[in-house]
Amino acid sequence: MARRYRKIATMFAVAWTCSLAGMTAQTRPGSPGPNGCAGLPDHAALKAALDAATSTETSGLNNHMWATIVDRDGVVCAVAFSGVNRAAQWPGSRAISAQKANTANAFSLDASSNSGGSGQPKGLALSTANLYSAVQPGGSLFGLQASNPVDTRVAYQGPSSNYGTASDPMVGQKIGGVNVFGGGLALYATTAEKLIGGLGVSGDTSCADHNIGWRVRHNLGLDHLANTAGVSGDATRPDNIVFDIASNPNGGTGISAGGFGHPTCINTTDNFKTLPVVVP
């Protein structure tokens, strides 16, 4: 009888060990996502694009930045920072950049969304900057920012020394989160302007984050949305930030004329009007 119990215990132990090994293989840092990370920029490409964009864009506070890319399933593919080390930026912006990437991917579409008389024939690109007004009290999307929480186990697991490297612990896992100010953009590839993921940038004012994110996307060559619909009113920059918020005569949150406006920021410039145009 004792031998039988020992055998059963051994079987459970082996099964448990295999289960843990399987979970480790699926979630280990640096593991590829199940859908599209193989077709997206890696850490080195993201860092090079971020360094170049941060050097070019000096609006806002002119800070160094964090950037994250997710695939179409919201799996984190790459995380990078500009500056000499991971203390040269706001530490809180790492998770925010991932949240922005997830949001832009989660609430944008391409033309494949159109079928059976529903959907968007040209797709619909929404940057996180485009969501600000709609989520304010009384807005049509009020509460959206609380709908898909960040997975804090993914965001804050260690070791911290790997943050922003090719072995960032977020890589290969779903971060979640919804962010509703500038810095998140959907990524569109050349094939039929296909939506393949999202980019998030954080570390400065939200307006500067948007501008730098825009330049990063352009540097990566993933701004193929010249025929994609947006809400900015500028067909050459369909998901650009919109500054059309006027003071509310009744107090409280200002009113966006088009419903997709974003507040201005300290040292806000007209750079958003001269950001690179999107391409076919």
Give residue 85's pLDDT.
Answer: 97
Mean of the per-residue pLDDT values of the chain: 89
- At residue 51, does pLDDT exceed 80? yes
- At residue 10, does pLDDT exceed 60? no
Report in angstroms the alpha-carbon separations of 33 from 2, 21, 76, 191, 275. 45, 17, 7, 21, 31
Give residue 13's pLDDT.
Answer: 39
And the tokens for 160? 């911290």
By percentage, how much of the chain surpasses pLDDT 90?
81
Instruction: Examine residue 155 and state whether it is found in any structural domain, yes or no.
Output: yes
Instruction: Examine residue 172 and state whether it is found in any structural domain, yes or no.
Output: yes
Average pLDDT over residues 21-50: 66
d(CA 18, CA 11): 11
- pLDDT-derived band at 269 (thresholds 50, 70, 90) equals confident
**What is the reported pTM?**
0.87
Phi-psi region of 117 (alpha: psi -120 to 50; beta: other; left: phi over 0): left
Give residue 116's pLDDT.
Answer: 97
Query: Based on the domain organization, do 57 and 191 belong to the same domain?
Result: yes
Report in angstroms the alpha-carbon separations of 148 from 4, 37, 96, 151, 209. 48, 21, 14, 9, 22
C-beta neighbour count of 48 within 10 angstroms: 15
Average pLDDT over residues 90-101: 98
Give residue 7's pLDDT.
Answer: 39
**Amino acid identity for residue 95 in this structure:** A
Report in angstroms the alpha-carbon separations of 280 from 81, 82, 224, 235. 29, 29, 5, 12
Residue span of the structural domain in which 252 resides: 33-273
Beta-sheet strands, E only, within the chain:
66-71, 76-81, 184-188, 195-202, 245-246, 255-256
Q: Which of 9-18, 197-206, 259-268 has the lowest mean pLDDT?
A: 9-18
Instruction: Examine residue 140 and state whether it is found in any structural domain, yes or no.
Output: yes
- At residue 9, does pLDDT exceed 70? no
Instruction: Examine residue 278 and state whether it is found in any structural domain, yes or no.
Output: no
d(CA 115, CA 18): 43
Query: Based on the domain organization, do 14 and 83 belong to the same domain?
Result: no
Task: Tell me the per-residue pLDDT of 117-145, one tens digit each, with 9 for 90 and over.
Answer: 999 999 999 999 999 999 999 899 999 99
Average pLDDT over residues 19-37: 42
Average pLDDT over residues 178-198: 96
Counting the structural domains of the chain, the total is 2
- At residue 256, does pLDDT exceed 90? yes
Query: Based on the domain organization, do 184 and 119 belong to the same domain?
Result: yes
Helix (H) or strand (E) holding 211: helix 206-220
**What is the number of alpha carbons within 13 Å of residue 245 lying toward its C-beta?**
22
- DSSP 8-state code for residue 109: B
Q: What's the CATH code of the domain at 240? A: 3.30.450.150
